[in-house]
Structure 1
């Protein structure tokens, strides 16, 4: 570490401590001094951008994030996401892959405890309930592809109900934890938009539990999923719901999809909607986040797409007796 970086690191540590105490203006001053000590330290610019955001100084935050991106083109800290939320850049169709990988690599050690204990995560159980009555009619042996498998929470629920589970995830540290469970046949580190060759070419079921929230435009990935399904195979996915067509980025840094575009994309992909359940996905700062669990079937010829207005709905947790909880950053 150079003397400049060492000095900058010490100053930034002080700035972060000040920000944690709520002394934002003083934190900004010290963080700026850290950058003066090492003007090429990308992380210092990102931290300064966060501090300006907390201070309500949008223009200064935008400039700091742009300075960060000039020094880290991979955007592992997600500056472009912040710029989208600030309205400084056009909406992209996905979150930066390096950012998502770094996010979940860091989160892996506390991922399950956080979701299960703090967020009461129930998506795998609810997705199983959505497909339970369909399993008997699926081809055997029933081979299943778990997209964005993470640490294997889907396997915890589905492993005893299917014959084979394969998984794909962007984060190697999440995959290490899934591998340790011993419930997957094949685990691959990959971007789900550029799927690698797996142990099986086509699957009887594809599960996408809270992974498509990190993509905006789903047309391509749904076509890919269709290509990985046998005729009559099913996709079950969870999605956050938004009011802006076709999608927008929520404050939790996940995409929210308008219901109409979901059904357009499914139809284009050759997937016929079997069920569409609406409900509260989680609470975010005391506000209910609405979403959907959609089951769709691969068929050679579509006999008709379920109209959104006619699909079954879980209006409230109380009526349905269930709820969905997803990752909250």
Structure 2
């Protein structure tokens, strides 16, 4: 497979060079013609397996090729693709490094390195690797598109835009880069151009889900909900099992489900982690973490101070905004969250004795620990039916223990999924979920934050576990 053919292989994959195409390995320490046919065949077979998603089998074949010809860079690069497909990202980085050690001017290896770094959320490093790939293959639109994506994810949309233009000059029908361009234009406030780019990308390839999802999100942001719903439903037809997209469809259509999918919540907060604290507290004037944490600490019995503090569980701890308030009152402070990137931020605070990546109900039902207080700030708005949350909290709390949380408020009974993708709750649902498990100590009306200069109203709730709660 020559370099032109390799561009059509799975992302980052290079095939073996055919005789007469030795220039693609000019930096290698040998000529392509010296590669034995049986070793060349292993790499060709491995590349075919990659296309089928059979990463472990492909990795074995690339490993055999490397063992036979350890100075040949191509199997290292393709091994990196296989390892990335298996989620073994650190090993994939080592394989990429080996490919580049043997051939420092290997554009596909730099592109593959960029994709691995993107998967590790190392966006600036990914942008630098993609830049090297684009320098080596300036006529290859995919290299520029990869760099644009990395820059956009690194919160540099203005830098991404000229790179998008370079990619589109080479391939005006590049749907991947049009999706990046649309999001970058939206991020810099050029909303009309953003919507135009998104529409163009979706029209060029109606079977590309990512383009439809980008278009749908821009339409939602502009309150074009009917059209957004149509676009999201088209995307759903391409993958009916996509629970994240199904949640968005429910939210826009006004139908209610029991809870947001775990993948949806994790995706939202993984992408939000780097700017979460500043945006939430400064821009949205977020107050939920302060009011719920201070309320919980104030309600703790004085006896805990004499004993060195209370055992506190922070469910949906996020970046640890509640930590500075809870830590002085805690003998043990445990945080739980679905988002790995939010937990990384919480870990940087060095306030928690334990941080666990888990769904909150599963954590509470699975742990042997017992706590004196469970705290949840602006988290239960991603769960509609709170029955299991109350039951799990009752199981993890000591008798008399406190459950303090906020939810977004509605005057109507029950709970409802809103177009934001979050749920609002009525008082009756809170009381019925607590029945037989907790008594309500306080339920106060509060303002949780502002959105588009409009206050978001909620309930600040404090429940106390009954001594003989049956859960």
Q: TM-score range by the shorter chain?
A: 0.7 to 0.9
Q: Distance in 2 between matches of 1:144 and 1:181?
A: 17
Is 118-127 or 50-59 further displaced after alignment?
50-59
Kept in 2: contact 1:45–1:68 (CA 8 A): yes
Match of 2:247 in 1: 81
Does residue 255 of the first structure (1) align with residue 420 of the second (2)? no
Query: Displacement of 1:164 after TM fit?
Result: 1.0
TM-score between the two structures when normalised by the length of structure 1? 0.79
| Counterpart mapping for 1:87-126 below 5 A | 87=253, 90-126=255-291
Q: Which has the higher contact order (CA 8 A, sep 6+)?
A: 1
Pick one of 203, 211, 224 that aligns with 1:33: 203
Q: Does 1:216 align with 2:384?
A: yes
In the comparison of the two structures, how many residue pairs are matched? Answer: 296
Cα separation, partners in 2 of 1:144 and 1:65, compared to 1, 3 Å: same
What is residue 165 of structure 1 aligned with on the other side? Answer: 333
Q: Flag the 1:8–1:124 CA change in 2: closer, same or farther, 3 A.
A: closer
Instruction: Name the structure 1 match of 2:458.
Output: 291
CA distance in structure 1 between the partners assigned to 2:328 and 2:389 by the alignment: 27
Report the Cα distance in structure 1 between the residues aligned to 2:451 and 2:315, rounded to whole angstroms.
Answer: 24
Other structure's SS at 2:300 match: helix
The 1:30–1:143 alpha-carbon spacing in structure 2 relative to 1, beyond 3 Å, is same
Q: How does 1:1-20 map to 2 (within 5 A)?
A: 2=8, 6=142, 7-16=174-183, 20=190
Q: How far off its partner does 1:23 sit? A: 4.6
- In 1, distance between residues paired with 2:421 and 2:175? 29
**Structure 2: runs of 5+ lacking an equivalent:** 1-6, 12-141, 143-173
Please state how far the C-alpha of 1:118 moved relative to its aligned partner: 1.9
In 2, the alpha carbon distance for the partners of 1:67 and 1:247 equals 28
C-alpha distance after superposition, 1:34-56 (max 9, x if no partner): 325xx2x3211112323555677
Mean Cα deviation higher: 273-282 or 196-205: 196-205
Deviations 1:193-212 (A, max 9, x none): 21267775210110011110
TM-score (norm 2): 0.57
Structure 2 SS opposite 1:205: strand
Q: Find the partner of 1:204 among 372, 382, 389.
A: 372
Q: 1:180 aligns with which of 319, 338, 348?
A: 348
Seen in structure 2, the aligned counterparts of structure 1 residues 118 and 17 have a Cα distance that, compared at 3 Å, is closer
Aligned in 2, Cα 1:2/1:62: closer, same or farther, shift over 3 Å?
Answer: farther
Deviation sequence 1:275-322 (CA, Å, 0-9, x none): 1221222222232221111111112258xxxxxxxxxxxxxxxxxxxx
- Partners of 2:295 and 2:246 lie apart in 1 by 35
Report what 1:42 is aligned to: 209
After superposition, give the CA deviation of every residue in 1:75-125 in whole Å (9 maximum; x if it has no partner).
48x43333223327x311111211110111111111111122222333232
1:193 is matched with: 361
CA distance in 1, matches of 2:296, 2:195: 53
Whether contact under 8 Å (1:34, 1:44) holds in the other structure is no
Change (3 A) 1:198 1:182: farther
Find the aligned partners of 2:253 and 2:177 in 1 and give their Cα distance.
32
Q: Which runs of 5+ in 1 are unaligned?
A: 303-329
Task: Describe the shift of the 1:285–1:57 C-alpha distance in structure 2 as closer, same or farther (beyond 3 A).
Answer: closer
The offset of 1:18, in angstroms, is: 6.7
Is 1:63 matched up with 2:233? no
Partner of 1:231: 399
Residues 365 and 396 in structure 2, CA contact (< 8 A), matched pair in contact too: no
Q: Deviations over 1:212-235 (max 9, x none)?
A: 010000001110011000011111
